[in-house]
Amino acid sequence: FVRLALPASALRTEGVAAVATVYNYEPGEVTVRLELTLPAGLNVTGDRVRTVTVPGNSAQSTTYMLGCNAVGLHPLRLTGQTLASVGLADAVQRMLRVRPEGIERVLSYSKLMDVTAGAPASLSIPLQLPKDTVADSAHATVSITGDLMGAPLSGLEGLLRQPFGCGEQTMITLAPNVYALRYTSATGTATAEFTERATRNIRSGYVRELRYRHGDGSFSAFGERDDSGSSWLTAFVLKVFAEASEFAFIDPAVLTAAAGFLADTQKSGGAFPKVGTVCHDEMMGGAAGADGERAMTAFVGIALTEALDVLPAGAQKDRVRTAVQSAASYLVKGPTGPLQAGPAVYTACVRAYALQLMAKRGLATPAEAAAALDVVKAAATDDGGLANWNTDAAAGGSAKARATPECLGCGGHWRRPMSTSIEATAYATLALVQAGDMGLAYSAAKWLVSQQSETGAFRSTQDTIVGLQALAEYGAAIAAAKPTVAVVIEDGAGTTQQVQVDAGTWNVLQTREVAPTGTVAVSATGTGKVIALTTLKYNVPRDPEPPIFNLTTGCVFEGADRSRARCRFCTSLAPGQGSLTGQVMMELGLFTGYAFDTASISSLLANTRLKRIDQDQGKTQVYVDYLKGGEELCIVYDIIQQLVTQNLQPVPHLVYEYYSPDRKGAAMGHVADTYEGAGLAKALGEPGAHVGPVGGGWGLTGSASGAAPCGWLLGLVCMACLLQLR
C-alpha cells in the first residue's frame, strides 16, 4: 500500500516536502508506478509520475517538493500501481492547508434583535479591511440563531482560544458545560448526543482539576507546586463542582474538604480574606481594605451557599451554614448610596447576587437582599437601551457597549469594556433574575450578547464563565416562545441570502459567508428574538495595536543541513505599562516542517518563574507566574526538522496577560538565512530561561568581529552577515 506524509499546514510561498512511501509485503521485488495529482493551487518540482522499485517485505520512499501558491485547503491524491501481471494497486488522498502569512485579526459584533409583528428589526455594519491586509486572508460571515446560547452551545470545547493548563483555566472545560446542560434541560432542547458530550467534558474537567488539590482540601493554580491553597480558587472550584454534581459524580468528600478549608479562613466578623494567590486580582477591587475583602466574601459566600444544596448532612454542613449566615451579616453592611464608576461597582454586583442566593435559602432576609439590589440598579449605565455596570473609573461613565459600531476593521471604533465590567454586568443579571426583575435583566442580557466573540466567549476565562451562567439562567427563566423570523442578509457585493428561524431551526447556528468589504445589512421580519453575529477575519504583517509587551525573537540553524535550529525569545513590559503583571502566557510559533525539541523545552522549567509548558497544535504555551516592569524574560530552546521546507516564512509569536488578554504583544519570528557554523547558536546561549534587567547584557548584545554594537537580535543578523562575507 501507499502512504503520503505531509506537514499539518504550510504558509503561502513555502516549498514543503510530501514523502510518498510504498510498502511491499510480498516476498518478491515489485516495481510501482506512482502518480501524484495536485490542484491548481499547488505545483511540484520534478515529475508527478515516478517509478519506484521496492524489494520484498520492505518499503521505499520518494519525496515530492510542493510549491504552495494559493491559500486554501488543497486535496492531494497519490496512486500506486504495479505491472498488470502483478495486479496490485492502492490510492490515498490527503489534505494540505495553505495559510496566509502574517498575524490573524478576528473582529466580531453580536446583536440581539427583537422582532415584533409589523415592526421589523434591522442592522447595518460596514466592513473595512486595513490597507496592509494580507492578500486572500480576509473572510467574513454572518451567523443567525434564535437561541440565546446558540454560539457557545455550537462549540463548547472551543469557547476560548486560550490554553487551560492550570487550576483555574482547567475549569473552562467544566463550568460552561454545566450551564449549557442546565439551560438545555430547562428549555427542553437537550439531545442525547449533546448531553453525552457535555457530561464527558464535565468528567474530564473534574479529573483534571483534582491534580491541583492540596492535602487540606484546597486548590491552587499549580497544585503542590504552590506554597499553599488559594481561597479564591477553592471557592471557584467548590461552586462549579457543586453545580456539576447534578450531572456527574463529584466525590462528596472533595466538596466537604473544600468547604471546610474556606470556613477555616473566615474572620470573626464574617469576612473571608485573601488566602494564598488570588489569580483573578481584579476581583479584589483594585484597592486594599474593605472593598476588596467584601468582594472576596461575596464570592466565597456564593460558593458555600450553593454547596449547601449538595453537602451531606452532618456537623460540617452545619458549620458551613453558620459561616454563610455570618458572611451575610458582613455583606449587608456594604454601601447604600450612589456608586461612582469603578471597582466598587463590581463589589456591589457580586454582593447583590450573593445576598439574593442567601435570601432564597433563608440565610439572609429578603429586605437585605432587595436593598443590595437597589444599590446595583441605581449604578446601572444605559447605552442605547442596553444596561451595563462599568468598573473602569478611567472611562468616566459607560462601559461602551457596541450598540452602534462605526465599522468592523477600521480600528479604534469602539472602546472595549474591561473584563470586570462584563463580569459585573453578568453578576447583576444573575441577581436580577433571582429577584424576578426580568425587564432590566433583558436589557443587561442584550448588552452581554453584544460583548461575545464569534465563539460565544467573552474576554477571559472568568468573565466567560460568569457571562454564560447569566445568559443561561436568564434564557431558562424566560422560557421564551420559539421565534418565527425571516432574516435577509445583503453584503457589500450585493449578494442576498435568506435564513429562516422557526420552531425547527431556532436553536441552530446558521452561518452565511459574506463579502469581507462593504456594508452588511441584516433585516428581520416576523415575531421573536434572534441574534445576528457578524465576524471579520484577516491577516496583517504586524500587530497594529500598541504593544503592552516588547518582544524580540529569532532562530539560527546549527548545521548546514538545517536539521536543527536554536531559538531565543525575549519579552518585557513596555515602558509605562505598570510594575507587575498577573499570569503571563508566552505562545511560541513553530516553523513549517519543524517540531519543538522536548528536552530543551523541558529545561525551561528549571526557572521557578515558569510554572508549566503545554504543546498543542503547532504551538508551545509557556505559563509565566508574573513579570515585573524593568525586567526581561528570555528563553532559549531548540527546534528539530521533521520534513524539509524551502523558503521558510516567519511565524507569529505572542505574549499576553491571561486575565487581561488585550494586554499583549506580538512579533514575527524569523530564521537567520545562514548556517555556516555552530558559533551563532552558541551565541544565543544554552537552552533554558533567564530573568534579568532589560538590556542587562544576557547573551548576544555586543559587537562581532569589529562590527558596531547592536541589540541581540540585530547582533545575530550582523554576525550572520559577517560569516557570509568570510
The answer to whether domain 549-725 has CATH 2.60.40.690 is yes
Q: What is the distance between the alpha carbons of residues 538 and 116, in angstroms, rounded to a whole number?
A: 36
* Ranges 139-143, 349-353, 703-707: which has the least confidence: 703-707
> Is this structure's pTM higher than 0.85?
no
Q: Do domains 2-99 and 549-725 have the same CATH topology?
A: yes
What would the mean pLDDT of 675-697 be, rounded to a whole number? 71
**pLDDT interval class at 587 (50, 70, 90):** very high
Q: What is the distance between the alpha carbons of residues 427 and 446, in angstroms, rounded to a whole number?
A: 14
The three cell numbers locating residue 99: 495559510
Does the pLDDT of residue 698 top 60, yes or no? no
* Ranges 395-409, 619-633, 708-722: which has the least confidence: 708-722
Instruction: Note whether 9 and 73 are within 8 A (CB).
Output: no
Helix (H, G, I), strand (E, B) or coil at 134: coil
70-85 confidence digits (pLDDT tens): 999 999 999 999 877 7
- Between 544 and 587, the more confident residue is 587
Say how many C-beta atoms besides its own lie within 10 A of residue 68's C-beta: 27
Does the pLDDT of residue 611 top 90, yes or no? no
pLDDT at 412: 45
Which residues have CB under 8 Å from 629's CB, separation 6+?
A: 573, 577, 578, 579, 580
Instruction: Note whether 662 and 416 are within 8 A (CB).
Output: yes
* Ranges 208-222, 229-243, 296-310, 607-621: which has the least confidence: 607-621
16 strand-pairing partners:
66, 645
Closest CA to 629 of 578, 664, 582, 583: 578
Q: Which CATH architecture fits 2-99?
A: Sandwich (2.60)
pLDDT at 426: 95
pLDDT at 158: 58
Q: How far is CA 43 from CA 14, 72, 302, 374, in A?
A: 11, 14, 61, 68
Q: How far is CA 39 from CA 36, 73, 445, in A?
A: 10, 10, 47
* CATH code for the domain defined by 217-331: 1.50.10.20
pLDDT at 86: 74
Q: Where are the domains of the chain?
A: 2-99, 217-331, 342-436, 549-725
Does the pLDDT of residue 411 top 80, yes or no? no
Which residues have CB under 8 Å from 389's CB, separation 6+?
A: 345, 346, 349, 376, 379, 380, 381, 399, 421, 424, 425, 428
What would the mean pLDDT of 687-694 be, rounded to a whole number? 90
Does the pLDDT of residue 89 top 50, yes or no? yes
The residue with cell 434564535 is 146
Chain-centre distance for alpha carbon 381 = 28
Does the pLDDT of residue 48 top 50, yes or no? yes
What would the mean pLDDT of 48-57 be, rounded to a whole number? 93
Say how many C-beta atoms besides its own lie within 10 A of residue 25's C-beta: 12
95 strand-pairing partners:
75
Strand positions, DSSP E, 314-410: 381-383, 386-388
Closest CA to 546 of 403, 643, 412, 700: 412
Instruction: Note whether 621 and 122 are within 8 A (CB).
Output: no
**pLDDT interval class at 59 (50, 70, 90):** very high
**pLDDT interval class at 394 (50, 70, 90):** low
* Ranges 250-264, 426-440, 544-558, 699-713: which has the least confidence: 699-713
**pLDDT interval class at 289 (50, 70, 90):** very low
Amino acid code (one letter) for 129? L
The three cell numbers locating residue 293: 475583602
pLDDT at 85: 72
pLDDT at 83: 79
Closest CA to 581 of 652, 653, 655, 689: 655
**pLDDT interval class at 210 (50, 70, 90):** very high
State the chain's mean pLDDT as an integer: 84
